[in-house]
A and B are shown apart, each in its own frame.
Chain A
Amino acid sequence: MAETTFMGVPRDKITWAPVIDYTRCNYCLECAKFCPHQVYEIREEEPRLIVANPNNCVVFCRACAKTCGPDAISFPEKSRVLETIKALRQQEGGK
């Protein structure tokens, strides 16, 4: 189950989720096994792993990247995401 807000901001307005570099990924699926939030989805066809539910990803979590041997997982830049959250919160507060 995904949280619907993060720090008071609708989760779907925050672009935080893992990005898989398929040139490095070897489909060991450690990341998918690790994450308890159903962010990843394992499929029959190629690519065999996708980020199916980006909004389930816990904002600022990067834990699955630590399990990735080939270092194929990256995330958006934290400071920019934080800027977005700040701006959205101000909008909310200003209403």
Chain B
Amino acid sequence: MAAKYVILPCNGLDKEAGCLARELALKMAAAMDGEIICPVLYQTAPSRYASLLQEGNLIVIDGCATRCASRIAANNNLKISRKITMAEEAKKRDYNPGPDWRLGAGAAAFVEDVWRSWQPVFMEQGAGRASEENTGLFAGPVEYAIHRHDKFIFRVPLEGFYFNENDCWVQVEGNRGRVGISDYLQQNLSDITFVTPPDPGTEVEQFGEMGTIESAKAVYELVSPVTGRVVAINEAVLEAPELINENPYEKGWIAELELTNFEADREFLLDGRRYLEVLKEKVADFNAGK
């Protein structure tokens, strides 16, 4: 039995990206026996959709980076199971959405292609996925250093973790590395509502994009500390992004990579002790800047 989906598209009718979101929503609803939430009506009469939202997995389709649909979901504390952004899908396919509402010549083919690439994801989710247990390789940190500031406590693992100055870490075991965000970044973002890890198989470069993290405050692009190929993502974090808030170094890891250039990458990374110094400065600067 396929999972039931509820689709919340962006309502940006003044821009092509918004109209594309709507087109995709219609296609998905028809193909997967899903229901569409009207973003305008939802904001004036949310109760109308309450039972739908309780039953189904919520898919949010944003048009452009303004992310109206995501924001509606975040403002109403809705749990999002998948998210698609048309502007990003367009970038991947070299499609240029126009500045106004008119659908471009290739729009229908573009939407069809986006749907085709996402379809397997939903089919798989409906079928349920066996989660691979490989916690054995990566043991949790043995020892944390602690930096206190007012009522905040920042933790940094001292052994086995390397950081970049963008507050992302890698834990290395042989040629495998797990990546995630630091306690400092996690606390800055506060409640994390959604994680988009890189797709398995993606080649990530050191300091390249390693997915995004969202909180009610902002979307944050993660900066990869290492070069490698994504071999696994943390499914648990997709289901429960709050794991990152609970413990960003253990349950809150984001992706696992096969490292391809670690000896060279390491030159640009900080070990726990040095990162702790950087963190202290950041905390001090952050408070001075306020």
Contacts and interface: CB of A to CB of B under 8 A. Distances in A.
A78 interface: yes
Interface string B195-234: 0000000000111110010000011110100000000000
Interface string A13-32: 00000000000000000100
Contacts of B288: 1
Contacts of A38: 289
Contact of B166 (A1, A58, A82): A58
Given A1-B285, A3-B281, A78-B207, A69 B64 contact: yes
A71 B64 contact: yes
Contact of B165 (A59, A68, A70): A59
Contacts of A3: 165, 281, 285
B161 to A, nearest CB: 17
Contact of B207 (A60, A68, A89): A60
Contacts of B99: 70
A60 B166 contact: yes
Nearest to A79: B205
B135 interface: no
B218 A67 contact: yes
A3 B165 CA distance: 11
A7 B268 contact: yes
A63 B65 contact: no
Contacts of A71: 64-65, 87
The size class of the interface chain A forms with chain B is 20 to 34
B152 interface: no
Contact of A63 (B165, B219, B268): B219
Contacts of B281: 3
Among the interface residues A65, A66, A82, A85, which one has the most CB atoms of the partner chain B within 10 A? A66
Contacts of A62: 209, 221
A55 to B, nearest CB: 14
Contacts of A30: 66
B165 A6 contact: yes
Given A7-B268, A71-B65, A82-B207, A66 B285 contact: no
A66 B219 contact: yes
Interface in B45-75: 64-66
Contacts of A37: 289
B165 A7 contact: yes
Contacts of B65: 65-69, 71
A38 B288 CA distance: 13
Contacts of A63: 218-221
A79 B64 CA distance: 27
A78 B268 CA distance: 14
A6 B278 CA distance: 10
Contact of B223 (A1, A7, A60, A65): A60
A61 B166 contact: yes
Contacts of A10: none
12 contacts: A3-B281, A6-B165, A30-B66, A60-B164, A61-B166, A62-B209, A65-B221, A66-B65, A67-B219, A71-B87, A78-B205, A82-B207
Given A61-B166, A69-B64, A89-B267, 14 more contacts: A1-B285, A58-B166, A60-B164, A60-B223, A61-B223, A62-B221, A63-B219, A63-B220, A63-B221, A66-B218, A68-B65, A69-B66, A78-B207, A82-B207
Of all A-B residue pairs in the complex, the 4 with the closest CB atoms, nearest first, are A69-B66, A1-B285, A66-B219, A60-B207
